[in-house]
Every structure is written in C-alpha cells, then in structure tokens.
Structure 1
Amino acid sequence: MISDVTVIYDAGGTGKNGGGSGGGAGRRYVTAGRDGFVKVWHPNLTPHKIIDVGQNRGRWLTACCWMTKSRCLAVASTNFRIYFYDGAFSPAPITYIEHKEGTPSCLGYRASNDMEGGKEILMVGDHNGYVTVYFLEDEWNKKDWEDEPMDFKKNAKPIRRLYHEGHWVTKVGFVEDLQAMVTCGLDGEINLCNVHLNQRKPNQPPIKLHKKYGVHTWCWCKLKKSFASGGLDRQIIIWNPFGTMAMSTLQGHNAPILDVQVNEAVQHQLISMSVDKVVKVWDIQHYRCIQTFTDKTEYKPEDRLTCMVFDRELPGLVMCSNTLNVLPMRVKVETNRTHTAPIVGALFNDVFNQIVSGDSQGTVRVWDVCNGHMEFEFRRAHGDHKLTCLGFDVSKRRLYTGAEDGEVKLWNFS
C-alpha cells in the first residue's frame, strides 16, 4: 500500500554531487510505500524508477517530499531515519538523518529566502506528537557523506517541540502567506507556529474546532485566505487563521476524511477524499458539494484509498491505494438558454429516452437525452394563462399540463 505521494514538476535534474542526468525533464509522480520502495512514475502511470529504501527488511516508508532548492527527495522510514536521494533518483542515498526521537509520520519542506539565510528547512512530525525542525546547511547535497548520517553545526541544531502529546502528528507544512508552520494531529488540534523557533505563534493557542476527533489533514485556500481541515469526524471545517470560529462546515462524507486539496486550476474548488473511496468536489464560495465520485476499483490487500495529490499541470487528482489512479479534473460545461421564461418543470421519460420541459409562458419542449438536441416543441399550451405544472401518466405515453386558471390538459406524447 502507498503511504504518501508527491508530484515533481521539474524532474530529471542532476545526479549525486551535481553530476549526471535524471533521464529527461518533465513531471513525475513519486510514491513511498509500506513495502519499503520508492517508485517514480511517468504521467501515463508507467514506472520510471524504483528505489529499494527498506532493503527488504520490512521497513515501511511513511512519507516523502521534494526539496525544490537542492532538487533532492526526502523519504521517511520506520527505522527512525530520513533518507535523501538526488534528482536522478540514484539507488543509493546521498545521506540520511538519524531521527531516533520517534517514528517519522509526515514531512514538510520550506526553502528560506536570501534574507533568512537561504537555508532549506525540513519539518518532521512523529508518532509521539513531536515536530522537529532541521536546518540544512548550504550545498549540503554536494558533500560526500561517505554513508555517514548528516551532522549539524551548533548554530543550526534541530529544534524539537511537543505539540500533540501522545498522538501521531498527521501533517506538517509551511504556509508562505502566513509565514507559519502548520501542524495537526490525532488529538484534534491544529497549531500555527514560527518555524525558525519551532513554537506556537504569540497569542495563537491550539485550534480545536474538531474537538476531540483526530485531524488527518489541512490545506490553505489562497483565494479565500482560510484553512480547510478534515479528519475522523467526517466533516470539513473552513476556518479563518485569525479567529477561533468556523466559517462553514461541509458535511456529506460517511467515512473519515483522509485528505483535502485545493483545485489549483480552479481556486474556488476544494477536493476531499475519504477512506471509503469517495471523492467530493466543493464550491467554497457557496459552501456546497458540486460533484461526487466513487472509485469502483477493488484494491488488495485493503480496499481503501490512502492518499492523494493534485497535479496542476494535468490538471487532475492522483489517488493512491496499492497503485495509482488519475482522475482528470478538466470539466467543460456548455450551456444554452433553452427557454425564454422561468422553467416550471422538467421530466425524464425513460420510455422514449427524452426530457420534457415547460415554462411559465406555456412553451413545452422535448429533448433528446443522448445529444441534447430539441426534437419538437409546442407553444401557448394554455393560451394566455401561465403554465404551472406538468407530469406523465402511468404509461408515460401521455403528458398532463396544468395552468393557473385551474385547467388541466392531456397531450398525446407518443
């Protein structure tokens, strides 16, 4: 089963210590699995490379992330290590971090700007509720570590902080708009933190909108300047980072929510995925569900989805279980005005595979379901009186129409 997935938009860079080719530019999907393998995929879902991180020792991989500045891949393992691989996805790691404080459960990344020293920052959440921030020195990936773990200078020692006591940290990341590290855990809390000090921001207590239910995920909605979070309570809460009240609650999932993502192609849309393989698309301008998908694929050994990531170049949703599936999110909707007055009803006739619609001016039109073309129409069904309702008889071969004057007419539909 796949534990984590990420999209690399500039794959095919340099090899170890800056040399070599990565096999061509372009985007790749990278997955980290419970079998101990990192797999690199082409966008058409054919394998590109496979890296045996676990060395066939039954070690799970829990998370992975792409480090854009150094062009390296960080991979977290249950053997209390975080491995780093070059942009060519060479089989041997450049180096690794000994993370003995707890099993790494999630990774976050930030490349600091020049005013902040330009260092790369790696954020690691673990199963004990701690978040550790590692500050990587310049050109750390160019050094020859000789299979030794990464060492840290005194002025750049990792900072470890307890945020979710006794509970797994489920997600950690950095939001540039807020200049904040954000964490969530199975204790139901969300924290906004100063990444350089690894501590909560002043006057910013833990956010407990999900009460005691565990929080699996969060995402930042840039357009709405708000967060969306979800977890074991099966609802998505939209909230403002500068307040403690929920802006809206989106309900509709019947199982715990694993992940939420912003549709980067259409910023006002939110995508959520639950463990029962249901994916929902939400309009976060009007706070309503606009589409629901159910993955009908039967996965083994566990028939469930585990993670997802949004591919902004496709655009589409990459969903994972024991393999990858891509759900394109490019939707083209063509609309035409079908009536010149308010529509009072629309009926589907499964005998003739047609739709019948009527408006208040008495215009009744019949449409072909397959191609959307109008087949015929009749107007002023009730003269100068407004049409108010319509319906079929039991055989669906006759159409009834009613008007405001109390008159009902029967039409031979066949």
Structure 2
Amino acid sequence: MGTRMEVAQLESRMSSEDYRKLQGLFHDPSGAPRSLSRAEFINQAWSSVGCGSKEEYGLLFDSVVITQEHCGLLLDIDTLKEEGCIDWAGLCSFLLLELSDKMKNSRTSSVPCWMPPRTLTCPHRDPIQKVLHSQSSGQYLTVSKGGTVGQWGVDDMSLLQTYRLQNCTVTPKDLWVTDVVLLHNLNKIAVSFTSKEVCFYDILSEQNFSCKYKLQGLKFTPWCLDFWMDPSQPDQAVLTIGDIGGQVSGLYFTSAQISLFETLGLRKDSDSADIILWEELVRGKHHTCYTLTHQAHMPAWVRKVCYLGSLEAFVSCSTRPQTSMVIGWREKESSSLRVTSFSTKRGVWDMDHHRGLNLIATAGVDHMVLLWNPFVASEPVCALSGHASSVTAVCFMQTKQQLLSYSKDKVLCLWDVSSQLCVHRLVGVFPKTQEDTRTTLFLHEERQLLLLSFNSQLLLLETVKEDRKTSSHEHPVTCVLYNSLFRQVVSSDSASSVICWLADTGRKVKQFHRCHGNSEISTMAQDGTQTRLFTAGTDGEVKVWDFKGRCLHRMNAGLGRAVRISQILLLQRSILVMGWERMLTVFRLHSFSQSFVEPSEWKGGVQHRSSVICAAFQPPHTLVTGSYDGEVIMWNSSTEMVLGKLHPHKEGKTFSS
C-alpha cells in the first residue's frame, strides 16, 4: 500500500541521530556531495538508518523528487520515479516545506475568530470576584466583593435578576466576599468571607440564596475555593480551601447528596443557618465530613486551589518562589498529605490542569507560562514565553490541546500546547484600567465564549459561530479522491468548494471556495504526480490547481457553453473530457504553455450515437469509452482510431471492428 495512515509518518518518527546517518548517505567516501537514485536511496537508507520500511523510504523519495523537479503538468509519474535523483539539499527543502505547512495548518485551523467585544450592563459597584455557570439552569452567575449576585440569561447574556447575599456575622458595609464556588448537582454555592467563615447558600430555594450552613472558626481568612464531585459516586465530594496563612484544607464529604454536615444538635444564627465549627470537623465530630490539611505555602497567601480526582491530590499556588506550586498527595490509610513543592523564579498567580494531557499550567509573576508534569517537580515540561508582564490567569481548553493566558498589560494569548507556540494574540480590545485592577477570566468552552471582569466591568468575547455545525460539507458532495502523496482526502461539493482532509485524523487542512463561481463541481481528477488537481464545473470549464489553491490553467471544454462534465481522464500525453456530446474533447499536453487552454481535434471523430459519459485507460494504448445508450467502443489512444465496438441490445453478434 502507498500510504502511512495508521502510524506516524517516517520523517516524524526519525530522531536527530537518524537524520545524521541519512545525511551521511549523500556524501561519497571522499566527502563530496552526491545524489541518489530511488533504488540507491531505499536500499542504503533502510540498511544504515533503519527506523522505517523500504516502502516508507520509497514514499519519502517520491515526495522529495516531485517537489524538487516537478514544476508543471506531468501525467506519467513512473518515469519521474525511475529517472529522478535526490540530494541532501532537496531532502532538507522538502522537510522544511512540510514542517512549515504543518505549522501553518495547525495555526489557521484552530485559531478562533472573535466577534467584537461587548461590555455587559453590570449591577456590581465593587470588583467581581467570580463568574460561574450553572449546568442545571444554563444561567451565569457573577458575585462581587460586596456580596451582590447577578443572574444572567443563557441566550443573550442579559441581566435577569440581582440578589444580595445575607450574612448576619458582619455588617453589610464590612461584608467582603473572597471567593465563590458552585456545588454541582447540590444546587448550592459556597462563599468565603474575610470574617473567617465559609457559608453555603441554596440557589433554588423559595427564598433565593438563603444560607443553609456556616462553617466558622477558621484559623486564617479563606482566600480561594474549589469543589470536586466524584462523577461515579455523587455522594463523594471534596471542598478545598486556601487561606492567607498558607494553609490548604480539604473537606471530604461522604454523603453530599443527602446532607453535607450532620445537623443534630447544631446551633442556628439569625439567618437560620446551621453553625458548623472548624474545630469540630478537625476532631471528627461530623461522621459525614472529615478534613486533611497542609501548610506548605506558609507564610505566603494561597492564590488558587483545586482538587484533582484523577490524581487524588490537592494542587495550590502562591507568589512565594520556593512554593510557587504545591501538590498535596492523599495517601491511603494516612491522616496527612505527602507534599511536593515546585519552585519558580518569582512565584505564581494562577494555575489550571488539563485532564487529557495531565499537564498543569502556571501563570508566573516573571511573565512566563510554565507547563508541568505533576510527577516531576525538578523542572517544567516547557516554558511558553511571549508575555511582557506578569501573567495573572491561565485556562486550558479541555477539548483541544490549547491554553489561554492573560497578563497585566491586557494581552490575551492562545497557545498550541503540542507545538508550544502562541497561535493568537488579542490586544487593544480590553478597557483601560489601573494596574491593581482585579481581573478574572471565565471560559465556557461549550458555547465558545469568554467572560473577563475588570473590577466591576464585565466583558463578553464570543467566537464567530457557523449557522449550523457540520462534520463535512454544507452542500451535497459531488466527488471524492484520495491523494497518497499528501495522505489527504480531497472532496468537492455542489457549492463549488474543494476541501482537503487529513485521512488519519479527519482534520480539515485546506478549503478552496467558489472554484467555479456559482457553478457546481461535477467531477475531479489528479495528474500522475498527484500535485495537480483538475475540477470540472457545470460552467463548461475544467480548471487545474496546485494544492496551495492556485489556479494554473483553465481548459475551455464547453467552448463557452455551460455543459455537464461527467469525467476527466488523464492519458500519457493528453487529457480527455466527456459527458455532454458524442465526441471526446481532447487537450494535448503541449497546449498547456498558456493559462487558457483550447481543446484539440479528436482524430477518431464521432463514433458514438449518444453522449460519451465514461472512459477507462489501460497502458500502453488501450482506451475504452461508454455512451449513454449503452454502447462501448475500444480505441488505440496513440492513433485515436477505433479498434472495435460493443453494441447493446442486438441479437447475434455484438462486437464489430
């Protein structure tokens, strides 16, 4: 088989040492450069380099020699394969071009197209501390430092209602929310306050946002929260608290669906909330909840916390360089956490975890975005450099290998994790604010929207959405080809579009729009080198393209008329076009010196009694054509003379010559 669909391409699997061995083949014993034929390259590369099969080295040679020598139409590739030679410079040029195309396709295919940003009318007068999305209702919640809750609509992001969180522990003017987290499937939110307490509010009760529990008596002011629920056992859940004393605390709930805490004998305050004391949890007074803590960040503030259920570990970060990121590993039959510290130059403001890649991204005070393997604390997997000021927020796109990062100088970067490149930068669209502005970033990947808060301002960024989601063409597909040279599927549709897809991944890599204007593409073909694509439009023209989307020639098959072309057949020295009349339309190879090509005369004249709709060719000189009425004619393609005819529905002899 001439493809490499189920394994990585040979050139991608080869190491630097393999390439050094390959380079040595292109020098003779005296050190002078030399070229290799196809047979020499395959045999010597396979024996000295290994790594791949002879078939794969043959495919690599064919790709290089075509790129190196082919600059026009060449209908017979076998001659090129046998007579062509490649040198080291030609091989390097091909590899660089292929890498360039891969990088370009990776960038252009995955870069979002943002709509103009929209500033939402906001009810908040003080900084927004958190943006949440409720999966049950589909609505969005914003919570400010002063305890104001904004409820936003799903479709148009309009403000639906405004609420005020009640907390009788402090006066309204002293109320200060530090963080909020949504308790999935429990219809509750947990809110941390500077009064050293965490309150749990019902969001679907008759009295909206009524306080159900108050966790009081915390040693330090809680600064950040996270909530995780086991998807297979919803009763098992973990609330994580990070505080300004450098402590990370995990609250394990064992019957979360029934009740977070035991309510027997609990005190109530004037908000009718059950009071839970932290000391009681530490002593194990509540059988439905127990705690684990570590103080690795002390004395720095914990800036972000999260619990990773897949690792059974707490991840946290701080701006203290020695403990920029800390992972607290939960160990079986142990009441303590095993702690691993990750250091950076100046500390970390934010972090996020990609579940599929199992990588943790950190937003550095030193302008760097680092990617970490959670099991390797000695050094990061890679560093993403491109920001000119401190990075304050990072967020993975979980369905893609991409990462968003935002810095203090109001630059939003989109990174491709696999290539470690910044594929998009968004600047100049964010509001002018002071340097100490509180900024939050919320990504709703399913709806492809981004919400950013700047103190009390809320900015909405949405990507341009197609009218409907399509996995292939939006219009009927008219023809499909396979290109073994580029390992791509090429398809056309009735809207005159051509799309190229990677066969092994299904990813769209190129799309050419309006190839024949408003005319439908009826059929396609490729030349022998598979570097030229022929498209036939119902406008009567056949166009010749390269795979960069450039139209090289226009073939006037219909002589200015709109005709229905059924097939394009490439012979050794000519091209046949058929489908609308009784005689074959032929284009000689020597005519392609001009961009607009006129047809030549078919020497055999009119032989069919109905329109010729299909044909087949068997080298060296046998051509067979079939017409609409069922007649089949055999030709000598060199002389263009008839060899014989097969007549349909005729008694007795059906073959004539």
Q: What TM-score do the two structures reach when normalised by structure 2? A: 0.45
* Cα drift, residue 337 of structure 1: 6.1
Find 1:95's aligned residue among 213, 216, 226: 213
Aligned-partner Cα distance in 2 for 1:128–1:149: 23
Q: Read off the aligned partner of 1:178 and give its amino acid letter.
A: L
Preserved contact between residue 292 and residue 336 of structure 2 (Cα < 8 Å): no
Change (3 A) 1:7 1:113: closer
Change (3 A) 1:137 1:258: same
Task: Tell me the residue number matched to 1:402.
Answer: none
Task: Tell me the residue number matched to 2:193.
Answer: 77
Preserved contact between residue 442 and residue 452 of structure 2 (Cα < 8 Å): yes
Task: Tell me the residue number matched to 1:242.
Answer: 375
Say if 2:138 is the partner of 1:27: yes
Q: Read off the aligned partner of 2:150 and give its amino acid letter.
A: K
Aligned-partner Cα distance in 1 for 2:392–2:293: 26
* Cα drift, residue 83 of structure 1: 1.3
Q: Read off the aligned partner of 1:260 and give its amino acid letter.
A: V
Max Rg structure:
2
* Cα drift, residue 193 of structure 1: 1.6
SS of the equivalent of 1:57 reads: helix
Task: Tell me the residue number matched to 1:179.
Answer: 312
Change (3 A) 1:199 1:231: farther
Pick the structure with more strand per residue.
Answer: 1
Find 2:348's aligned residue among 207, 212, 215: 215
Task: Tell me the residue number matched to 2:129.
Answer: 3
Find 1:149's aligned residue among 275, 280, 283: 275
Aligned-partner Cα distance in 2 for 1:42–1:299: 27
Aligned-partner Cα distance in 1 for 2:199–2:235: 22
Preserved contact between residue 408 and residue 435 of structure 2 (Cα < 8 Å): no
Say if 2:443 is the partner of 1:310: yes
Aligned-partner Cα distance in 2 for 1:315–1:305: 23
Q: How does 1:116-127 map to 2 (within 5 A)?
A: 118-127=235-244
Task: Tell me the residue number matched to 2:252.
Answer: 135
Aligned-partner Cα distance in 2 for 1:281–1:114: 33
Aligned-partner Cα distance in 2 for 1:299–1:4: 20
* Cα drift, residue 42 of structure 1: 2.1
Preserved contact between residue 277 and residue 305 of structure 1 (Cα < 8 Å): no
Change (3 A) 1:27 1:362: closer
Say if 2:176 is the partner of 1:60: yes
Percent of matched pairs sharing the same residue: 20
Equivalenced residues, count? 333
Change (3 A) 1:96 1:335: same
Task: Tell me the residue number matched to 1:294.
Answer: 427
Per-residue Cα deviation, 1:143-163 (whole angstroms, up to 9, x for no partner) = 695333125452544333212
Task: Tell me the residue number matched to 2:157.
Answer: 45
Say if 2:147 is the partner of 1:36: yes
Change (3 A) 1:132 1:8: same
Task: Tell me the residue number matched to 1:230.
Answer: 363
Task: Tell me the residue number matched to 1:392.
Answer: none
Per-residue Cα deviation, 1:311-352 (whole angstroms, up to 9, x for no partner) = 1221221111213222224577994469x99xxxxxxxxxxx
SS of the equivalent of 2:242 reads: strand
* Cα drift, residue 214 of structure 1: 2.0
Task: Tell me the residue number matched to 1:324.
Answer: 458
Aligned-partner Cα distance in 2 for 1:315–1:114: 27
SS of the equivalent of 2:425 reads: strand
Change (3 A) 1:171 1:6: same
Listed as ranges, the gaps of 5+ residues in structure 2 are 1-126, 467-507, 514-529, 532-547, 554-591, 595-657
Q: Read off the aligned partner of 2:259 and give its amino acid letter.
A: W
Aligned-partner Cα distance in 2 for 1:157–1:313: 34
What is the Cα-based RMSD across aligned positions, in Å? Answer: 3.6
* Cα drift, residue 298 of structure 1: 2.8
Preserved contact between residue 160 and residue 198 of structure 1 (Cα < 8 Å): no
Preserved contact between residue 294 and residue 328 of structure 2 (Cα < 8 Å): no
Preserved contact between residue 253 and residue 260 of structure 2 (Cα < 8 Å): no
Per-residue Cα deviation, 1:216-255 (whole angstroms, up to 9, x for no partner) = 1111123322211112111101121222222211111122
Change (3 A) 1:6 1:362: closer
* Cα drift, residue 69 of structure 1: 3.8
Change (3 A) 1:262 1:380: farther
* Cα drift, residue 112 of structure 1: 4.3
* Cα drift, residue 40 of structure 1: 2.6
Aligned-partner Cα distance in 2 for 1:295–1:200: 45
Preserved contact between residue 183 and residue 192 of structure 1 (Cα < 8 Å): yes
Pick the structure with more helix per residue.
Answer: 2
Task: Tell me the residue number matched to 1:193.
Answer: 328
Task: Tell me the residue number matched to 1:109.
Answer: 227
Q: What TM-score do the two structures reach when normalised by structure 1? A: 0.70
Aligned-partner Cα distance in 2 for 1:49–1:6: 15
SS of the equivalent of 2:340 reads: coil
Q: Read off the aligned partner of 1:8 and give its amino acid letter.
A: S
Per-residue Cα deviation, 1:150-185 (whole angstroms, up to 9, x for no partner) = 254525443332121111101110123322211111
Listed as ranges, the gaps of 5+ residues in structure 1 are 11-25, 342-358, 365-378, 382-414
* Cα drift, residue 302 of structure 1: 6.8
